[in-house]
Amino acid sequence: MASTTLELSDATSGRPVRLSPTGTVIYEVALNGWRILRETVNDFSLWRIIEYPWATAALELRRGDLVVDLGSGTSSFPHMLAKEGVDVVVLELDAERVRWQLAKRRATARPGDGRFFPLVASATHMPLRSGSVRRVAAVSSLEHIPDDAAVGAEIGRVLASGGIAAVTLPFTSTERTGFFEGIRKFVRVERNAFVQEGKAGSFFRFYTAADLERIYGRGVGLVMSELRGFGRSILNGRYHETRLTRYWRRFVLKDLLLALLVHPLEERFDRSDPLYVMFTLRKP
Ligand SMILES: C[S@@+](CC[C@H](N)C(=O)[O-])C[C@H]1O[C@@H](n2cnc3c(N)ncnc32)[C@H](O)[C@@H]1O
């Protein structure tokens, strides 16, 4: 768990890596046991079943590639990638979560897996050489970091020319004045930014398209593309931001069905704001 500058090398040119929604659930069970179908032990849920396959495809991953995963938390995504032969840097601020990741890795590692580099560090000051990284993933993590301008600048700095970042972030087309109203108490602290009352470290920011370009796109010399949404009137409006959210972390197979059946229909026919967007950033 060193925090000195990490030298990274990217072997690449292996076979392409694909992750399906069903594949994420199978991996989740293999990594954390059957009980996660009843009650997840981490943030694995409907959104992750949508995000992990998308991020894997968006990064155009092959066996032997190296991904820097920002704000991994206790997510299984780094392990799913390692099982597919991808090398992963888990870059996470919370040392306890990095220890959890390392213990999980030691318990589940098999010959042929990708390598695993745990790193206690902040995405606002990455101990990585400028231009040294070809692939960055940030799945539902950067919205929790107040100094987002520093994160955007760091992603722009560490990416190599031609490198890609796959990012998912909360979205709004107008100013959001509330969040999870009637379920939890989130207090507005800045335009489109909230903290949960009484919960330290619960900072949560929504982004407009202009904010995304300024903080993560053109503003830091990166080209944003492949913007997609998820969580519109049914998956968010009738489910997630309602009292049904108490079932959010339970019965993961319902989430698989929602991801396979409802999510594609929403993206095809529903033009309301998504709760989250997924997009890539490329360094020219
Ligand atoms: C919602 S969780 C992570 C979700 C995870 N990526 C997944 O796929 O489920 C957000 C994580 O970001 C981490 N975090 C917060 N600030 C950070 C920072 N400045 N640098 C790196 N990680 C940070 C938190 O400790 C937390 O583990």
Residue 42 in tokens: 């981490």
Q: What is the per-residue pLDDT for 181? A: 79
Which ligand 1 atom minimizes the distance to the CA of 73?
A: 27
Q: Report pTM.
A: 0.95
Question: 70 versus 14: which is more confidently predicted?
Answer: 70
What mean pLDDT is predicted for residues 31-41?
Answer: 91
Give the strands of the sheet with 133-139, arranged side by side: 116-120, 87-92, 66-70, 133-139, 159-170, 276-282, 223-230
What mean pLDDT is predicted for residues 29-40?
Answer: 93
Domains in the chain: ranges and CATH: 21-171+207-282 (3.40.50.150), 174-204 (no CATH)
Pocket of ligand 1 (CB under 6 A): 43, 48, 70-73, 75, 77, 92-94, 97, 122-124, 139-141, 144-145
Phi, psi of 219 (to 5 degrees): -60, -25
Count CB atoms within 10 A of the CB of residue 210.
11
Contact of 31 with 68, CB cutoff 8 Å: no
Ligand 1, pocket-test mutation among 42, 89, 141, 142, most atoms within 8 A of CB: 141
SS3 266: helix
Cα separation, 54 vs 2, in Å, equals 30
| Segment 46-97, tens digit of pLDDT | 999 999 999 999 999 999 999 999 999 999 999 999 999 999 999 999 999 9
| Segment 235-250, tens digit of pLDDT | 999 999 998 888 888 9
The type of residue at 68 is V
**Residues linked to residue 67 through DSSP beta bridges, in sequence order:** 88
Supply the mean pLDDT for the chain: 94
